[in-house]
Structure 1
Amino acid sequence: MEGGAEGDGNSKIKLVVVGGGVAGAFLAKEMQFVADVVLIDPKEYYEIPWAELRSMVEPSFTKRSLIKHMDYLTNARIITSSAVSITENQVLTADGDSVTFDYLVIATGHAYSTPRSRDSRLEQFEQDSQKIKSSKSVLIVGGGPTGVELAGEIAVDYPEKKVTIVHKGPRLLEFIGDKAAKKTLDWMKSKKVEVLLNQTVDLNSISEGDGVYMTSAGEKITADCHFVCVGKPPGSSWLQESVLKDCLNKNGQLIVDEYLRVRGRSNIFAVGDITDVPEIKQGFLANKHAMVVVKNMKMLMKGADESKLAKYKASSAMAILTLGRKEAVAQLPIGTMIGWLPGLLKSKDLFVGKTRKALGLNS
Structure 2
Amino acid sequence: MAENGSEEKKKRVVVIGGGIAGSLLCKTLHKHHHFDFTLIDSKEYFEITWAKLRAMVEPSFAKRTVIDHHEYLPGASIITSDAIGIDEQCQVSTAEGRQIAFDYLVIATGHLTNSHLTKTERLRQFEADYEKIKSSDTILIVGGGPSGVELAGEIVVDFPAKKVKLVHRGSRLLEFISETAGKKALDWLTARNVEVMLGQSVDLDSGSDGVYLTSSGETIVADCHFICTSEPIGSSWMKETILKYSLDDRGRLMVDKNLRVKGFANIFAIGDVTDVPELKQGYLAQKHALVVANNLKLLIRGEEGKMVKYYPATSALAIVSLGRREALAYILCVAMIGRIPGLIKSKDLFVGKTRRQLGLQA
Question: What residue number does 2:325 align with?
Answer: 326
In structure 2, what is the equivalent of residue 202 of structure 1? 203
- One-letter identity of the residue aligned with 2:65: S
Counterpart of 2:189 in structure 1 is 188
Q: TM-score, normalised by structure 1?
A: 0.95
TM-score (norm 2): 0.96
The answer to whether the aligner puts 1:349 opposite 2:348 as a matched pair is yes
Aligned to 1:147: 148
Pick closer, same or farther for the CA change 1:264–1:325 going to 2, 3 Å.
same
| Residue correspondences, number | 356
Q: Secondary structure in 2 aligned to 1:196?
A: strand
In 1, the alpha carbon distance for the partners of 2:147 and 2:299 equals: 38
Aligned twin of 1:313:
311
Q: Does the Cα contact within 8 Å between 1:39 and 1:78 map onto a contact in 2? A: yes
Q: Distance in 1 between matches of 2:221 and 2:136?
A: 11
SS of equivalent residue, structure 1 residue 204 = strand
When structure 1 is superposed on structure 2, of 67-76 and 269-278 the one drifting more is: 67-76
**Residues of 2 paired with 1:227 and 1:112: CA distance?**
15
What is the root-mean-square deviation in Å for CA atoms of aligned residues?
Answer: 1.5
Identity %, equivalent residues: 58
State the one-letter code of the partner of 2:361: N
Q: Helix, strand or coil for the counterpart of 2:240?
A: coil
**1:12 corresponds to which of 3, 10, 13:** 10
Cα separation, partners in 2 of 1:10 and 1:266, compared to 1, 3 Å? farther
- Give the match for residue 247 of structure 2: 248
Q: CA deviation at 1:111?
A: 1.1
Q: Say if 2:91 is the partner of 1:78.
A: no
**8 Å Cα contact 1:169/1:199 also seen in 2:** yes
Q: C-alpha distance in 1, partners of 2:38/2:117?
A: 18
Structure 1: distance between partners of 2:235 and 2:333? 36
After TM superposition, list the pairs within 5 Å mapping 1:204-283 onto structure 2.
204-207=205-208, 210-283=209-282
Letter in 1 for 2:69: H
In the TM superposition, residue 354 of structure 1 has moved relative to its aligned partner by 0.8
Aligned with 1:240: secondary structure? helix
Structure-2 residue corresponding to 1:164: 165
SS at the partner of 2:112?
Answer: coil
**Aligned equivalents of 2:126 and 2:361: distance in 1?**
23
Aligned equivalent of 1:25 = 23
CA distance in 2, matches of 1:294, 1:191: 45
Q: 1:40 to 1:136 in 2, by over 3 A?
A: same
Offset at residue 231 of structure 1 (A): 1.4
Deviation of 1:205 (Å): 2.6
1:130 aligned residue: 131
Aligned-partner residue type, residue 216 of structure 1? S
Q: For residue 205 of structure 1, give the secondary structure of its aligned residue in structure 2.
A: strand
Task: Encode CA deviations 1:242-280: one digit per residue, 9 max, x unaligned.
Answer: 000000011111001011110111110000010011111
Residues 220-245 of structure 1 show CA distances to partners (whole Å, capped at 9, x for unaligned) of 11100000111111000110110000
Q: Judging changes above 3 Å, is the alpha-carbon distance between structure 1 residues 26 and 69 closer, same or farther for their aligned structure 2 residues?
A: same
Q: Distance in 1 between matches of 2:64 and 2:233?
A: 27
Q: CA 1:11 to 1:121, structure 2 compared with 1: closer, same or farther past 3 Å?
A: farther
- Give the CA deviation at 1:113: 1.4
Letter in 2 for 1:27: L
CA distance in 2, matches of 1:298, 1:348: 37
Deviations along 1:122-141, whole A, 9 cap, x unmatched? 00000000000000000001
In 1, are the aligned partners of 2:316 and 2:333 still within 8 Å (CA)? Answer: no
Q: Is the 8 A contact 1:32 1:75 kept in 2?
A: no
